Chain A
Amino acid sequence: MESFLVFLSAVFAAPFFSGVILKVKAFFGGKKGPSVFIPYYTLIKLFQKASVYSKSTTYIFKLSPMISLTIGLLTLLFFPFAGRASVLSFNGDIIAIVYFMALGRFFTILAALDTASPFEGMGAAREAYFSIIAEATLFMILLLFYLMNRELNLSSYLMQEKSIFLWKTAGSSLLFIIVSLFMLLLAENSRVPVDDPSTHLELTMIHEVMILDHSGPDLALIELGASLKLLFYASFIARLIFPFDCGYTLFNVFFFFMAVGVVYVAIGITESMTARFKMTSVPIFIMMSFALAFFATVFNWELIK
């Protein structure tokens, strides 16, 4: 019950955190910026509209937004928020999570191809290409965690004292992992410097270009799904940078969300301070996150044994 409540609060807070990024960017741009609740207003606005469908699209196009949202929710169900037990958990769930995400991406790509628009095909090709490399990084990180814990279970890495255990076993490597995860977060959630969600230049975008044809409630589902995905990655990092357990659930939840907030502020600062990469440099950037994770694992090989 407790876990479920924390899960719900996380789902409802996800758009708020996306608003935090906008606020940080506005601060660096010397602007007042929109309210932090603007993502909620956007969602409400979109839900009040009707969706427009192109004649060339099929049911796949309508299905994909629902799948993105479902996948977003599903992956969060496995996450041990604030170190509480997760709603769902089984041995090997971490592999399921990775492939749930891949399934979501698969349907987004299919829907993009379904529109038969040349840009969306281009975006789909980019997304497919970059996510292959990103998956390698994710598995490298999981390999390290598995070697430390001998368990294939997300909760077993991040619940209660478990994440402190990670720090004690391989603290220095964990710093690598945090940086690597943060790079992965930027890449997987189409943030600057990998992708730019704010410009509407169809030729340069990766993720945004694939959802150009979605409108109204469909778009709302996709945006909500995207903020849930971002929350998943941010929470992962937050549990690693704030592994402590204060004893009281309420405190834990509070500090956990503070840590999540810190991750989002870090995203906002990164977006404000860096320019976007050339498209050809994006794979190099993601490979770098893989390299970090790889060396973190290699360094710990002996320690773990």
Chain B
Amino acid sequence: MKHAFLKIKNGERVHRESIPHLPFDVFCDQLISFVFHKGHIVQFFAYMDPHCKWLVVLRNSELYVAGCDVPEKYLSFTLQYEKFHMFEREMAEQYAIKPMGHPWLKSVRYHHNYPGKPDCFGNDYFDDIPGCYPFYSIQGEDIHEVGVGPVHAGIIEPGHFRFNCIGEKVLHLEIQLGYQHRGVEQLMVKAPLKRLPIIIEGIAGDTAIANSICFSQAVEALSSISIDQDAQIARTIVLELERLSNHIGDLGALSHDVAFLMPAAYYGRIRGDFLNMLLLLSGNRFGKGWVRPGGVNDSITDDQRQQLIKSINLLRPQIEHVGDLLFNNSGVLARFESTGCVSAETSEKIGLVGVAGRASGSPYDVRHAFPSGFYTNLNNEPKIETTGDVLARAKVRYREIKRSLHIIETLLQHPNHSDMRRKAIPFHPSAFVVTLNEAWRGELSHCIITDKNGNILRYKVKDPSFHNWTGLALALRGQEISDFPLCNKSFNLSYCGFDL
């Protein structure tokens, strides 16, 4: 396959001049042909400079980037490949770029478009929320519609789920999010530099560390800062701690959803123990305020190291015992097996990433495919399951927990004295950088474009949930509606990370 895209590396600064700016026809053909050859989209967004332009970051075994002027109108890419579905909807909402013939053109987060053009969806945003958007509906005597949320009975984030059911069976699920839209991407352009790390950590509390690492790596690339190895090790440790606390919490929550008491209680407590380890290092249970451009805010003292090693040695057998309890209980297996299946084919079609993708057999793990920081020195063979059901997603988590424990234990063996480079260095002008990291949900990617003066022109964040929500909607087809909470928990996607 020949194409004119520029091959780049994860976290590598590229001058914008060197990014191929293709004519629309060429761009279109090559994009489609790239995706046809099992390529995936990492980022696909528009920006103003001074007129509207596209930028796309693609991956197969390498990362590629290319740009193009946005045409007046164009035929939707979604018609050919489902992977474009959400990206096109997002661009239509953010920059009023209307894809012709898009099968389900509907606002993603419900806000004004950035350049102030006429709205693509005909919404009046001064109206009371919720806005006037259609929901996919199925007509028929026996069909009933169930709408859940955005206010839920439990303590979860807001999201609206619209089920079309026949009896207890779900025919179609549509997920509408955007209730927590805060305008992060816009804020990142306007806010003073000092506030940026704090905004980034506020994107999604449970992914604060991964977001912070993505941001820091991008800033470091833009200002040509290189951080020492100990700081990279420290970042790896906290990222794995974040993964551990969330994966363990998820397994507990999965167990709770099938009303299996013991793992729910024990994993709930163990999750707290891992959050407390983050507290010990950073002073915050979600690890906020620790990872910053230039390194990490405090090096890990020997005392902290010993405490962490002690806690992990104490917790490891507990995690394994409870895991045996969970995965050997026939009742639990009966609930987990063949529930919420996403086939490898579907997963490939919609481009699932992270835990959900690996559970459906796709061997993509950013730590393995595009390792950054200290991950280049670690063995990160992706943990794959093939069945694509709730059990597969639980098992991927459990296997990753074991590996993360191993990584942390190994990295804690040596004293860690990192130096923080605190000096702010101006960004390179007209530069582009994309950073990818394997957050606990999957591929998290930040992208920064700077203008001629070295100011941020466009900041783009893409949470793994952006791909995976579609996976959840498809997983529910033909399932019992009563299995929805379990399927939802097995994906455990981010609402606020998606809403931005």
Give the B-binding residues of A (Cβ under 8 A). Answer: 25, 28-31, 118-119, 121-122, 192-193, 196, 198-204, 212, 271-281
Contact = CB atoms under 8 A, between A and B. Distances in A.
A53 to B, nearest CB: 18
A198 B147 CA distance: 22
Contact of B154 (A29, A201, A271): A201
B248 to A, nearest CB: 15
Interface string B373-386: 00000000000000
Contacts of A273: 261
B426 interface: no
B332 interface: yes
Given A118-B145, A275-B259, A31 B334 contact: no
B265 A274 contact: no
B481 A274 contact: no
Contacts of A272: 261-262
Contacts of A277: 331, 334-335
Contacts of B187: none
A275 B332 contact: yes
B261 A204 contact: no
B335 A275 contact: yes
B263 to A, nearest CB: 10
Contacts of B262: 28-30, 272
B260 A212 contact: no
Given A204-B485, A279-B480, A192 B334 contact: no
A115 to B, nearest CB: 14
Contact of A274 (B260, B482, B484): B260
B390 to A, nearest CB: 11
A16 B153 CA distance: 26
Interface of B: 144-148, 152-154, 168, 255-262, 264-266, 269, 329, 331-332, 334-335, 339, 480-486
Nearest to B153: A200
B498 to A, nearest CB: 21
Nearest to A193: B331
Given A29-B261, A200-B154, A203-B484, A278 B144 contact: no
Nearest to B332: A275
Contacts of A201: 153-154, 257, 485
A245 B121 CA distance: 77
A178 B6 CA distance: 74
A31 B265 CA distance: 8
The CB with the most chain B CB atoms within 10 A, among A193, A198, A271, A278, is that of A278
Interface centre among A29, A200, A203 (most CB of B within 10 A): A203
Contacts of B265: 28-31
Given A192-B259, A275-B334, 17 more contacts: A28-B261, A28-B265, A29-B264, A29-B265, A29-B266, A30-B269, A31-B265, A118-B144, A118-B146, A196-B259, A273-B261, A275-B259, A275-B260, A275-B331, A275-B335, A277-B335, A280-B168
A284 B404 CA distance: 41
Given A193-B331, A201-B153, A276 B258 contact: yes
Contact of B480 (A193, A200, A202, A278): A278
A107 to B, nearest CB: 23
Contacts of A212: 153
A269 to B, nearest CB: 10
Contacts of B168: 122, 279-280
A282 B257 CA distance: 16
18 contacts: A28-B261, A29-B264, A30-B265, A30-B266, A193-B259, A198-B259, A199-B485, A200-B154, A204-B484, A204-B485, A204-B486, A212-B153, A271-B259, A272-B262, A275-B255, A275-B334, A278-B483, A280-B480
Nearest to A281: B334
A203 B261 contact: no
A201 B154 CA distance: 7
Nearest to B260: A275
A271 B261 CA distance: 8
Nearest to A268: B261
A202 B488 CA distance: 13
A41 B298 CA distance: 48
A276 B485 CA distance: 13
Nearest to A276: B259
Given A118-B145, A119-B146, A276-B259, A203 B485 contact: yes
Q: Which of A201, A271, A273, A274 is packed against the most chain B CB atoms within 10 Å?
A: A201
B482 A204 contact: yes
A199 B482 contact: no
B497 to A, nearest CB: 22
A192 B259 CA distance: 7
A46 B482 CA distance: 29
B160 to A, nearest CB: 13
B148 A203 contact: yes
